[in-house]
Amino acid sequence: MKNQNSPETIKIQDQNFGNHVEHWNLLTDTPETDVPKWLGLALDAPVMPMGLCEDEQDMDQSFWLIQGPKGQSISINQIIAVENQKPRALKTAFPSFESPYKYDAQIERIITCDSATQAVLRLSLNKNTVIYAFDNLFSVNNCQYDQNQTYQVQFNAWAYELESVAENEKIIVDDPASIKHHRALNAILAEHNGVAPENLQELINDWQPKTPEDHEPVTVDFSKMVAYLYGETLGQEDEAWFQ
C-alpha cells in the first residue's frame, strides 16, 4: 500500500535505467561468464534485506531482492519477479558495496519504472546540497518512503575512468553575454560569502559592468578547478562527470 505522504514520483521505462554493464565491467574482464556464476552462488546462501519494512507482509510480494556475497565487501544484488511465492524471472541485477559515508537526508523526488524495481532518488542533505543517487533497496522500500521523514543514507560511487588533467588546460570565454554572466556570478557570490542567494538569476540579469576589466574575456583554467556535472537523462542523474 502506497504511503500517502510519498515524495513526488516520476515513472519512466525500465530500460532507461541502463543495464549496469559498466558496473560489471569494473569487476571482471569476462562478465558474460562471471556474472551468471555470481548470481547462482548468491542463491546458495541468499540474504533478503527488509529495508524499512518491519514485517514481510509490508514488502512488495511481486519481487524478491536477493543479495549474495562476492567477497571483498562487494555484494551481488538481483531482483526476481515472483508469482504465487515462486520465482519466475530475473528482472535486473547490479553490484553494490559498503561505504563509511553516511548522512541524514530527505527524499525530494523519486524516478522509478513501472516494475518498481529500480529508482534514482533526489536527496536533500541541506538547503545548499542535493544528491542524485541510485537506490539499491528501492524494490523493498518503495512503499515506505515519506517526503517529511529524514533518513540516514549511505553514499558510494563507481569510478569508470580516471585520467590526469593537463597542465594549463584553458578556454577563453569571449562572448559578451557569457562574459557578463561569469563576471556577474563571481561578483554576486563574493558579496554573499560564496553562497548563492535565492534570487541569483534575477541579480545576474540586473548586474552591470563597473570597470573596463568587467568587459574583458574570461579565462577558465581546467587544471585549477573543480567541476561536477550530473546526468541530465531521467533515470540516469546519478551518472556524473567530475573534475
153: its cell numbers: 543514507
> What are 49-90's pLDDT values in tens digits?
999 999 888 888 888 999 987 666 888 999 999 998 898 999
Q: Which residue has the higher pLDDT, 98 or 155?
A: 155
105: its cell numbers: 537526508
> What are 177-215's pLDDT values in tens digits?
999 999 999 999 999 998 889 899 999 999 999 999 999
Distance in angstroms (rounded) separating the CA atoms of residues 12 and 42:
29
What average pLDDT does this structure show over 156-170?
87
User: Which pLDDT value is given to residue 127?
Assistant: 83
User: Which pLDDT value is given to residue 229?
Assistant: 81
* % pLDDT > 70, the chain: 98
> What are 22-48's pLDDT values in tens digits?
899 999 999 999 999 999 988 888 889
Quick check: 1 pLDDT over 70? no
Confidence of residue 2 (pLDDT cuts 50, 70, 90): low
What average pLDDT does this structure show over 209-230?
88
Q: Share the mean pLDDT of the chain.
A: 89
Distance in angstroms (rounded) separating the CA atoms of residues 122 and 105:
10
Evaluate if pTM is beyond 0.85: no
The SS3 of residue 177 is: helix
**187 burial type by CB count under 10 A (0-12 exposed, 13-18 middle, 19+ buried):** middle
Distance in angstroms (rounded) separating the CA atoms of residues 103 and 141:
18
Distance in angstroms (rounded) separating the CA atoms of residues 208 and 133:
39
Distance in angstroms (rounded) separating the CA atoms of residues 50 and 144:
11
User: Which pLDDT value is given to residue 243?
Assistant: 81
Place of cell 542523474: 237
Torsion of CA 36, 40, 45, 49, to 10 degrees: 50
What average pLDDT does this structure show over 108-135?
91
Quick check: 18 pLDDT over 80? no
Quick check: 5 pLDDT over 60? yes
Q: Which residue has the higher pLDDT, 149 or 237?
A: 149
User: Which pLDDT value is given to residue 43?
Assistant: 86
Cα distances (angstroms) measured from residue 122 to each of 13, 155, 217, 237: 18, 13, 36, 9
User: Which pLDDT value is given to residue 72?
Assistant: 64
